[in-house]
Amino acid sequence: MTYYPLRERKNKVYIEDATILPENDSFPLADEQEVWIDALCDEILEARRNKHPVILAFGAHTIKNGLGQLLGRFAKEGYFTHLATNGAGIIHDWEFAYQGRSSEDVKANVAEGKFGTWEETGFSLNLALAVGAFEGCGYGESIGKMIEEDGVMIPTQEELLETSLDQSASFEKRSGALDLLDLIVKLDLQPGWLGIDHPYKEYSLQHCAYVNHVRFTGHPMFGHDIIYTHKANRGSAIGRTAERDFLAFVDSIARLERGVYLSVGSAVMSPMIFEKALSMVRNTGVRIDHAVIRVVDLQKGTWDWNRGEPPEDNPAYYQRFMKTFSRMGLESHYLRIDNRSLFVNLYTALKRKG
């Protein structure tokens, strides 16, 4: 494999130009959108007044659309208690923090055999995950920590070997030490501090979540993300950190009674992890019967999913993720709206009413 410098890649999105903030951008609402967002605003305020969680699950386009800084405000100011995204959301957010731009031309780069083969992205994220797996961090936490600290600390080979042989350490800790040792040896990495500057970290949502102690979990699907093409990739580190994040997500779902679950533009990851987490929680005897699910996407919806599943010929039937949510036994509401309009107007409503 040949890996190319990230600075050589042509990018579609420059974060300084793309960032969306309420004081700079406005998005008029249709009447039904305004009513829907107003209701969501009230639900969030009610949940937070009573110390119930508000969980936001979102797809990568939310980051690509320049909403990282604004979502950071939601988290920092206590409106969102948990943020969850997929592997691509993690990558775009990191690239914005690292170089201020992201989003390559997939068609052109696949044709040249260059899609995803970017040295800094593959090396930095995989290294951060391997170090994080050894240190006991989750997927999102590992990247947020690297952004905040502008680098990672690489242990000595002796330290890692000693840990792997320590009978008093957990098998997870010992396995993480061997995984990191394998990476260090194969990449010939020197022990000590490895600086990785992030001059645009103010635009990073996972950095904001990390420094403000807000849960930010990554839920990757193996083979979906460009970091898997890099020689630094270790499936064990991906799995270890992603498992910790999934269990953290389950813990948040366990507290969701009277709370709010907001899913934005994530038609696969969000409903899939939600249904498993909810089932696990209910399996332990914890009842989650009075939470609200609100789902946003750009597809047109014409069916009230609280009535159950629609007939096969209903035009909304292709919204497969709403079918998943409809099975949860919880109140769910769907809105077709651009995510930039949603978050700008929701934030404005929260500040006005809160």
Q: What are the residue ranges spanned by the domains of the chain? A: 14-102+200-353
Is the pLDDT higher at 224 or at 348? 348
Where b means 16+ CB within 10 Å and e means fewer, 290-326 reads: ebbbbbbbeeebebebeeeebeeeeebeebebbbbbb
Average pLDDT over residues 107-117: 87
Percent of the chain whose pLDDT exceeds 90: 81
User: Does residue 322 carry a pLDDT above 80?
Assistant: no
Work out the average pLDDT over 254-263.
96
| Residue 306 confidence (pLDDT) above 90 | no
Paired sense of beta strands 192-195 and 151-154, if any: antiparallel
Which helix (H) or strand (E) segment holds residue 218: the answer is: strand 215-218
- How would residue 105 be classed by pLDDT, with cut points 50, 70 and 90? confident
Contact by Cβ (8 Å): 86, 218: yes
Cα–Cα nearest to 266, from 294, 242, 303, 297: 297
* 11 conformational bin, left if phi > 0, alpha if psi -120 to 50, beta if neither: beta
- Residue 324 is predicted with a pLDDT of 63
**Which tokens belong to 286?**
């914890």
pTM of the predicted structure, to 2 decimals: 0.91
CB of 322 within 8 A of CB of 283?
no
The pLDDT confidence band at residue 108, using thresholds 50, 70 and 90, is: confident
What would the mean pLDDT of 120-126 be, rounded to a whole number?
98
pLDDT, residue 257, reads 96
| pLDDT of 311 | 44
pLDDT category, 299, cuts 50, 70, 90? low
> How far is the CA of 21 from the CAs of 203, 324, 345, in angstroms?
11, 32, 10
Question: Given this model, what pLDDT does residue 354 score?
Answer: 82
Helix axes 31-49, 339-353, angle to 10 degrees: 50
**Alpha carbon distance 156, 148 (integer Å):** 22
For 320-336, what is the mean pLDDT?
A: 72
Q: CA geometry: angle at 250 spanning 326 and 297, to 5°? A: 40
C-alpha span between 263 and 295 (Å, rounded): 5
Confidence of residue 297 (pLDDT cuts 50, 70, 90): confident
CATH 3.40.50.10690 for domain 14-102+200-353, yes or no, is yes
pLDDT value at 309 more than 80: no
Residue that the structure tokens 């590992």 belong to: 142
Separation between Cα atoms, residue 295 and residue 334, nearest integer Å:
5
Q: Residue 308 pLDDT more than 80? A: no
Q: Check pLDDT > 80 for residue 217.
A: yes
Q: Please report which helix (H) or strand (E) contains residue 341, including its range.
A: helix 339-353
Instruction: Judge whether residue 314 has pLDDT over 70.
Output: no
- In this prediction, residue 323 carries a pLDDT of 61
**What is the pLDDT averaged over residues 181-198?**
97
User: How far apart, in whole angstroms, are the C-alpha atoms of residue 293 and residue 324?
Assistant: 12
Do residues 217 and 138 lie in contact, with contact meaning Cβ atoms separated by under 8 Å?
yes
pLDDT tens digits along 47-91: 999 999 999 999 999 999 999 999 999 999 999 999 999 999 999
What single string gives the DSSP state of each residue in 241-291?
A: HHHHHHHHHHHHHTT-TT-EEEEES-SSHHHHHHHHHHHHHHHTT----S-
Q: What would the mean pLDDT of 4-22 be, rounded to a whole number?
A: 95
Per the CB < 8 A criterion, the answer to whether 195 and 150 are in contact is yes
Provide the mean pLDDT of the chain: 92
Flag whether pLDDT at 227 surpasses 50.
yes
